[in-house]
């Protein structure tokens, strides 16, 4: 007997997880701190849980894709992140992959109707 299907939310979360890195890189042309980036992504329709976003920022920083520094600007000290040169290259490459993937998916979904 087949197992009950997962809820749509689970599949949606999986889809969103796959595009997180690209979404983050897209918004870090200029420096942002964790909370402001989360608000920015949420305002563009991509809400991300804080427990997912903040550790991911840190990992991207350690991989050299972001550069970060502590700053004090209108409030307590915060760590600001922006794309590094390596992150810039990755952003361009991933953007091309995303466009190609989106076109392929569009094509597949239209044929699947």
Partner 1 sequence: MRPEDIIDDYVAAVAAQLPARQRKEIAAELHSQLMDELTAAEARDSDAALALVRRYGRPAEVAARYSTPVTIIDPADTRSFAIAAMAGALLVPPVNPRLPISVDRPVGSLLVLAWIGTLVLFFAARAWAIRRWPERFVFTPKPPRAAINIPAEWCAALALIMLEVVYLSPAPIVDFVSGGRVPADHLAYSTSFVQPLRMWWFALMLPLIAALHFTAALRRSWNAIARALASLFLISAGIQLNWNASYGDILANVTNDLAARLTFQLAGSVLVLLGLFALYRQWASVSLPELKRRFSQA
Site residues for partner 1 per CB under 8 A:
33-35, 49-52, 54-56, 58-59, 76-79
Query: Judged by CB, which is closer to partner 1: 49, or 110?
Result: 49
In angstroms, what is the minimal distance from the CB of 61 to partner 1?
Answer: 10
Distance, CA of 57 to CA of 52 (rounded, Å): 9
In angstroms, what is the minimal distance from the CB of 5 to partner 1?
Answer: 23
Name, in order, each residue with C-beta under 8 angstroms of 77's C-beta and a sequence gap of 6 or more. 70, 71
E strands, 1-113, where? 32-33, 66-72, 77-83
In angstroms, what is the minimal distance from the CB of 42 to partner 1?
Answer: 11
Q: Are the C-beta atoms of 37 and 2 separated by less than 8 Å?
A: no
Query: Judged by CB, which is closer to partner 1: 78, or 83?
Result: 78
């Amino acid at each position: 007997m087949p197992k009950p299907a997962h809820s749509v939310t689970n599949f949606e979360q999986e889809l969103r997880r796959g595009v997180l890195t690209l979404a983050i890189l897209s918004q870090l042309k200029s420096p942002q701190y964790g909370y402001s980036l989360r608000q920015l992504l949420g305002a563009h329709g991509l809400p991300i849980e804080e427990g997912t976003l903040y550790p991911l920022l840190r990992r991207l920083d350690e991989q050299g894709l972001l550069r970060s520094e502590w700053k004090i600007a209108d409030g307590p000290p915060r760590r600001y992140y922006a794309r590094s040169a390596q992150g810039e290259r990755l952003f361009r490459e991933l953007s091309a992959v995303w466009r190609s993937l989106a076109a392929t998916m569009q094509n597949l979904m239209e044929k699947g109707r």
